[in-house]
Structure 1
């Protein structure tokens, strides 16, 4: 039994997203849990999920996570807001391993605001989701919360366009409806958006705090690993990371390298 537990502890963590956005969560995990091994899968052949029906999202998410399970991962982080909202309960009911989902950082934003006005930038689907409305009702009922869909930001990240004049102009247009409301906290409600964080901060100005859920998700993963006795033993070097995608691997290698800030060679997965 002890030997089996030790083997499981050395197994990799799976990280899944519809595309490149989850790489921002992967980076937070690597910082919080450097001894762990990771297998990342971006379902780039079917990105973006935000434009799909709930049935499609569930089907695609289950197929992608089945790929990770074949790699014998010990835990899966669903690093996609849309997939977390649509499919997390199905995954937990179907597979007998821990799953960690992504939650927009509405609760900490509500604590941070001094003006009582926060903005949420997300995908069109996530903005309309009852899940976001429940978060607002539970944690931000006494403040003003404004949300806007920004699918064009997903497109920028999936192209690997993280800075430049086109990025700056796109952000100014996309975030203008929130800035007009005089917000002082901006929640990045899609895991793609932190890849644009420096440009977003310039667009909103120094008086608006920009937050996302990456660090919180990493801390939650650490807690679950500890509780389940699955934490990887300390090792002299950082753990290994594999990057997979369902679409064209060369393109994703370029995008992943831009998001993570170091050279990546992605492999194509058959889902």
Structure 2
């Protein structure tokens, strides 16, 4: 039983809000912090060791402001590399975000699965191991896209999604009529779900792990008593136009810029 715990969400961009909104639905009375390492965005094109070092350093810096009860790495790319280092550096629970490969293998009717993720995630040995362990009898088509990540960021900032630009990113899948299940393997992609559904009409299932992550967070924290009186705060690593406007829609009211070496 914890009295209004402080939960930190960490991502390189604003895609992690897809996980945050599910956690907040289950746990409305917690104190929420969100950090986007936008000076280093996108993580998918950065070296693994650099991601590990920045992630640990940034979370440590935030911990100086608030004792953290739980950290959610709301980024698939970061989760594939940083979890062991974070668990060594912090005593609080660390929850990662990994592609829903096992549920996809259980859900597919045709045996053909698409993994839509960042270029970094689709190359990780960790992902190959998940496929080998849980989807070895399926055909898994991996598609890594930085462009779709940028499109999701732009959509959240109020820009319309260009359907032609989106179609160019997924054109190979449009011809794969056996594809019936797509894993949204980046936290940005649930924000493009309606556009993806319209562009891939043969796909029956789009799998987003956010609800499962929220349940995991709730299980780890147990019963939450009381209601937080602290303001929800956003941390970023470089100034970004209209950033707070986006986060205000998700009940964040303060913004702090962290000074980090790139």
Is TM more than 0.5 here?
A: yes
Worse-superposed segment, 155-164 or 53-62 = 155-164
- Is residue 11 of structure 1 aligned with residue 2 of structure 2? no
Work out the CA distance in 2 between the residues paired with 1:103 and 1:244. Answer: 23
Answer whether contact 2:233 2:253 (CA < 8 A) is retained: no
Greater per-residue helix proportion: 1
- What aligned pairs does 1:48-59 form with structure 2 within 5 A after superposition? 48-59=42-53
**1:257 Cα deviation from its structure 2 partner:** 5.3
Partner of 1:156: 151
Partner of 1:22: 16
Answer whether contact 1:247 1:268 (CA < 8 A) is retained: yes
Partner of 1:63: 57
- Is residue 212 of structure 1 aligned with residue 201 of structure 2? no
Work out the CA distance in 2 between the residues paired with 1:124 and 1:108. Answer: 22
Runs of 4 or more, structure 1, over 4 Å off, are 237-240, 262-265
Q: Aligned to 2:258, which of 229, 254, 269? A: 269
Q: Deviations over 1:35-66 (max 9, x none)?
A: 22211111111111110001111111112211
Work out the CA distance in 2 between the residues paired with 1:89 and 1:19. Answer: 22
Partner of 2:111: 116
**1:24 Cα deviation from its structure 2 partner:** 0.9
Decide whether aligned partners of structure 1 residues 204 and 255 sit closer, same or farther in structure 2, where only a CA change above 3 A counts.
Answer: farther
Work out the CA distance in 1 between the residues paired with 2:15 and 2:68. Answer: 20
SS at match of 1:63: helix
Work out the CA distance in 2 between the residues paired with 1:102 and 1:138. Answer: 18
**1:163 Cα deviation from its structure 2 partner:** 6.4
Q: Deviations over 1:196-246 (max 9, x none)?
A: 1222222212643211111111111111112xxxx42154x9985222222
In structure 1, runs of 5+ residues without a counterpart are none
**1:180 Cα deviation from its structure 2 partner:** 2.5
Work out the CA distance in 2 between the residues paired with 1:28 and 1:203. Answer: 25
Q: Deviations over 1:145-191 (max 9, x none)?
A: 1111111011122334676352x222211122223223101111011
Work out the CA distance in 2 between the residues paired with 1:210 and 1:218. Answer: 18
Answer whether contact 2:69 2:93 (CA < 8 A) is retained: yes
Q: Aligned to 1:32, which of 26, 31, 39? A: 26
Decide whether aligned partners of structure 1 residues 234 and 111 sit closer, same or farther in structure 2, where only a CA change above 3 A counts.
Answer: farther
- What aligned pairs does 1:140-155 form with structure 2 within 5 A after superposition? 140-155=135-150
**1:263 Cα deviation from its structure 2 partner:** 7.9
Answer whether contact 2:174 2:199 (CA < 8 A) is retained: no
Partner of 1:78: 73
Work out the CA distance in 1 between the residues paired with 2:45 and 2:199. Answer: 26
* CA-based RMSD: 2.3
Decide whether aligned partners of structure 1 residues 179 and 135 sit closer, same or farther in structure 2, where only a CA change above 3 A counts.
Answer: farther
In structure 2, runs of 5+ residues without a counterpart are none
Work out the CA distance in 1 between the residues paired with 2:252 and 2:217. Answer: 26
